């Protein structure tokens, strides 16, 4: 074996290589992940509870892109293979449509972590939160609300439709038949599991419209408009999105959680995204119990995981206890009804013209 002639120079060379390698890894740019979400308070809550903690834990530069929910954005990304987002926060109707059009990557539910109570993800997540191309997410719902001036406090869907015991006008949103037709059939005694089978029949559809006709509602443009009718005294009860109710500043109606109709915001990945592996890792993290509870600390949207509720506390800015405002709090979620956006995607077009005529009378 040959002896090294300059052992000191050799050791210095090794040391130099080590220093250069260390500096390289310290200065190498962090991998980037772009999450597309909504502007305003919702996106800020996600950044606080999901994006920044994930970035710090994984050493990833998490960036935010904003959108308005237009599926055309996803279509353009996939068709042009120009991905301005790796993960997209979508309302479930958009996710269902994008999935049907093969615009989203498939997501294996087995990759989702167990709940904070160690329950399997399929058991921990509410119905509808796991789909072939998405994972939830946050829950929002349509609830019934009533005027604080009422002498008797209504407490159920049956009370909402009982105009004899609770006289006065009901305000409903005319924006879509969704929510309204399901609510009508539930009020008419149809079992939750039979609602969409009933709506698929001409007789069932007639039954839903007849129930709404008997209620004689006043039609608002949307959820906020229905709350306006309630506030100005022209209605004594109304239906509204729970987020719109929570945002009221100078008016506090009573809330009926019975038979709330809920939907979700979910996370998905544009098809063909080269950053898919990291995007899946982010989704697994962001839909864990603690990150979802963190979002709910800021906003009155329910975590899609049952095990998150015990982790929800007070709003960091206002100090308000958030649990009573959440659709998925157990005391509010007992008779919750999951809106089937896949069903509406398949059947909504056939109902649209009849609905438009109905609310225009």
pLDDT band, very low/low/confident/very high, at 9 (cuts 50, 70, 90): low
pLDDT band, very low/low/confident/very high, at 340 (cuts 50, 70, 90): very high
Mean pLDDT over 56-80 rounds to 97
Tokens 């009422």: give the residue: 150
pLDDT for res 27: 56
Percent pLDDT > 90 in the chain is 91
CB count, 10 Å around CB of 103? Answer: 23
Q: For residues 92 and 10, which has the higher predicted lDDT (pLDDT)? A: 92
pLDDT for res 74: 98
pLDDT > 50? residue 293? yes
pLDDT > 90? residue 4? no
pLDDT > 50? residue 2? no
Q: Which of 256, 157, 165, 261 is nearest to 211 (CA)?
A: 157
pLDDT > 70? residue 305? yes
pLDDT band, very low/low/confident/very high, at 3 (cuts 50, 70, 90): very low
Who contacts 160 (Cβ-Cβ below 8 Å, separation ≥6)? 144, 154, 166, 170, 187, 237, 256
Least confident interval from 8-22, 129-143, 256-270, 279-293: 8-22
pLDDT for res 1: 44
- State yes or no: cis peptide before 137, omega within 30 of 0: yes
Give me the domains of the chain, ranges plus CATH numbers: 28-139+264-329 (3.40.190.10), 141-263+339-359 (3.40.190.10)
pLDDT > 70? residue 140? yes
- The model's pLDDT over 10-46, given as tens digits with 9 standing for 90+, comes to 566 566 665 545 554 455 789 999 999 999 999 999 9
Mean pLDDT over 143-161 rounds to 97
- Report the C-alpha gap between 154 and 146 in whole angstroms: 8
Mean pLDDT over 79-87 rounds to 97
């Amino acid at each position: 074996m040959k002896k090294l002639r300059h052992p000191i120079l050799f050791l210095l060379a090794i040391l130099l290589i080590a220093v250069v390698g260390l500096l390289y890894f310290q200065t190498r740019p962090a991998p980037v992940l772009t999450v597309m979400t909504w502007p305003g308070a919702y996106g800020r809550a996600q950044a606080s509870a999901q994006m920044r903690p994930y970035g710090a834990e994984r050493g990833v530069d998490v960036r935010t892109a904003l959108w308005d929910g237009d599926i055309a954005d996803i279509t353009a990304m996939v068709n042009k293979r120009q991905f301005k987002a790796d993960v997209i926060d979508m309302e479930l109707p958009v996710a269902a449509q994008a999935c049907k059009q093969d615009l989203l990557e498939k997501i294996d539910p087995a990759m989702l972590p167990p709940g904070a109570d160690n329950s399997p993800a399929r058991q921990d997540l509410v119905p509808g939160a796991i789909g072939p191309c998405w994972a939830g997410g946050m829950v929002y719902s349509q609830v019934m609300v009533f005027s604080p001036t009422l002498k008797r406090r209504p407490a159920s869907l049956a009370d909402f439709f009982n105009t004899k015991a609770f006289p006065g006008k009901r305000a409903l949103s005319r924006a879509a038949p969704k929510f309204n037709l399901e609510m009508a059939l539930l009020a008419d005694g149809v079992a939750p599991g039979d609602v969409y089978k009933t709506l698929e029949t001409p007789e069932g559809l007639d039954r839903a419209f007849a129930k709404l006709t008997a209620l004689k509602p006043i039609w608002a443009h949307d959820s906020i408009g229905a709350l306006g009718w309630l506030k100005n005294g022209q209605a004594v009860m109304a239906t509204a999105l729970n987020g719109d109710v929570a945002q009221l500043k100078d008016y506090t109606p009573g809330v009926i959680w019975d038979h709330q109709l809920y939907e979700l915001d979910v996370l998905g990945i544009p098809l063909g995204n080269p950053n898919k592996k990291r995007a899946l890792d982010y989704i697994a993290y962001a839909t864990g119990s603690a990150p979802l509870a963190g979002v709910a600390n800021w906003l009155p949207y329910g975590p899609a995981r049952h095990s998150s509720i015990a982790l929800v506390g007070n709003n960091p800015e206002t100090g308000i206890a958030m649990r009573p405002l959440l659709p998925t709090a157990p005391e509010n979620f007992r008779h919750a009804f999951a809106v089937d956006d896949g069903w509406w995607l398949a059947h909504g077009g056939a109902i649209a013209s009849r609905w438009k005529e109905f609310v225009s009378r």
